[in-house]
Amino acid sequence: MPLLLMLLLLLWLPLAQAEDLPSATAESDDTGLYLLQTLDVASFQDKAEAIRLIVTSDDPRARNWLSALLEGNLQRERSGRFVLVEGTSGRDLLVSDALSGEALGAINRRDLSRISINNPLRNQLRSALALIDLYSSDLNLRRASAERLIGEVDATLAAVLPDFLDEETDRRVHQRLSLALAIYRVEQGELAAVEQLSGSLHSRARVALTRAQSSDDAQLSEAARQALLGIEQKLKLNRAAETLYFGLSMGSVLVLAAIGLAITFGVMGVINMAHGELIMLGAYTTWAMQQLLPGQPGLALLLSIPAGFMVAGLTGIAIERGVIQFLKGRPLETLLATFGISLILQQLVRTVISPLNRTVVTPEWMSGSIAINDALSLTLNRLYIMAFALLVFAALIYILRRTRLGLEVRAVTQNRNMARSMGIRATRVDMLTFGLGSGVAGLAGVALSQLTNVGPNLGQAYIIDSFMVVVFGGVGNLWGTLVAGMSLGVINQILEPWAGAVLAKILVLVFIILFIQKRPRGLFPQKGRAAGD
């Protein structure tokens, strides 16, 4: 209450000569009508005084009135009654009584007149609404209000904000209000406030310091210059962290796209040019699930994970049984055959679904970002994809290290002839391995659907990158695929800003060619008697 009384006193002083309010014993509707009538005047200066009067009235309806005034929804009937516009009904407006809140139904537009405001009044209204919200018991409302005040503090607000700071218990609200007050004080030429902004990464703080740097006050100008230098160093670190984050997220996509290829290429030695189309099938499965479950994108996405794996995995088994098993030991024919299959799958999708791109809705829990500070935020969809890639990688490691299939895959990979002599059915292992690798490609498509549009050419953008990751990391080595995918993602992200997307790809390709000249087996070469074959 002492804070409220102080606010009333500070805002009341400019109105010392204004007409007195009705007596305290008057009805609330009469008082409310008087407050609204003070707004319905021609002079914008008088309207500004009326807004201050409403703010200090402590009327519980004040926020609704001011919000409606800002949005152009506070209007007056010909009879003098004030109404709030709540919607439209043809040529009429749906309104309610501004005093009682009673719904009045539809009223013709011609019978209403809007209370006009200008840009200075709009700024005043935003500040007034923020000030009212600071008294709210709703923490989210107070936080939003404090955020809106940054860069919008005037002399009146600057007088009362210190008392808000003394009573505010939420750290975030306190920090934002302190920032807003410091920006105002710097703009007023206060040297002490520059130090408060010296570590801030908020854009409005940098604007205030830049203006202070050009001040005629040499001491203030130098202090602002030093503060800006410190902020610039912090911004460089945050930009580096952002580049690393985007590079790792791109690397996660490359790992998902390449890890299935690493399994099939490592075990069977098959250059599968249809791998990108298996990724595409996983993405289209996600789109199809959302068509089956409209309005539930989150559930559809979760169901798309096993569905995408099954669709791509079964397609991969069909390709292996129908084509690849007859071309073993003939890599050129296998490459050409799988390239033809990729064209068939692309045309099949164009014919059955559409040649146009499809949009997959991102669930609400994957939207938005996590704000680390005012200069760095991490988008949630990329964060989820990074976590998903690591989970898929961990699951594959478990399968290859802890299951019978994994034992047989490792045996066939290291020495196919010896594995056969020990009773392992290499043909069955090939089929299951190709199905597993294809299923993982489908999972990559599910993840990619959250980053880009789904189209028939989706997989073509990742097939070359997938082969580069596999060769760079070491054929058939999952750890090599992980390290190579993450490394190439970060390298690409670093090169693209100054070299461009195309030249960055070329530079990465040249780097891999030179690297392979030095280490032909990649970062993590296979081990075993047949590793050199």
Tens of pLDDT, residue by residue over 508-532, are: 888 888 888 788 777 776 655 444 4
- 439 in Cβ contact with 309 (< 8 Å): yes
CB atoms within 10 A of CB 443: 27
- Between these two residues, 25 and 169, which has the higher pLDDT value? 169
Distance CA 191, CA 179 (A): 15
The angle subtended at Cα 366 by Cα 362 and Cα 371, nearest 5°, is 135
Most trustworthy range by pLDDT among 5-19, 67-81, 129-143, 287-301: 287-301
Mean pLDDT of 478-507: 84
Share of the chain above pLDDT 90, in %: 20
CB atoms within 10 A of CB 265: 21
Mean pLDDT of 186-195: 88
Structure confidence by residue, pLDDT tens digits, 162-174: 887 888 888 888 8
Structure confidence by residue, pLDDT tens digits, 123-159: 888 877 877 788 777 888 888 888 888 888 877 778 8
So what's the pLDDT on residue 468? 86
Rounded to two decimals, the pTM is 0.75
Q: Is the pLDDT of residue 2 over 50?
A: no
Mean pLDDT of 94-114: 86
Distance CA 285, CA 290 (A): 9
Which CATH architecture group holds 240-370+378-518? Answer: Orthogonal Bundle (1.10)
So what's the pLDDT on residue 303? 94
Distance CA 60, CA 50 (A): 16
What's the mean per-residue pLDDT of the chain? Answer: 84
Confidence tier at 24 by pLDDT (50, 70, 90):
very low
Confidence tier at 16 by pLDDT (50, 70, 90):
very low
Coil, helix or strand for 104?
strand
Q: Is the pLDDT of residue 329 over 80?
A: no
Structure confidence by residue, pLDDT tens digits, 392-418: 999 999 988 888 888 888 787 777 788
Share of the chain above pLDDT 70, in %: 92
Surface-to-core class of residue 118, CB atoms within 10 Å of its CB (0-12 exposed, 13-18 middle, 19+ buried): exposed
Packing angle, helices 139-149 and 171-187, rounded to 10: 20
So what's the pLDDT on residue 527? 59
Distance CA 527, CA 493 (A): 32
Mean pLDDT of 280-296: 92
Distance CA 241, CA 51 (A): 45
DSSP letters for 180-230: HHHHHHHHTT-HHHHHHHTT---HHHHHHHHHHHT-S-HHHHHHHHHHHHH
Q: Give the H/E segment covering residue 363.
A: none
Residue ranges of the domains in the chain? 240-370+378-518
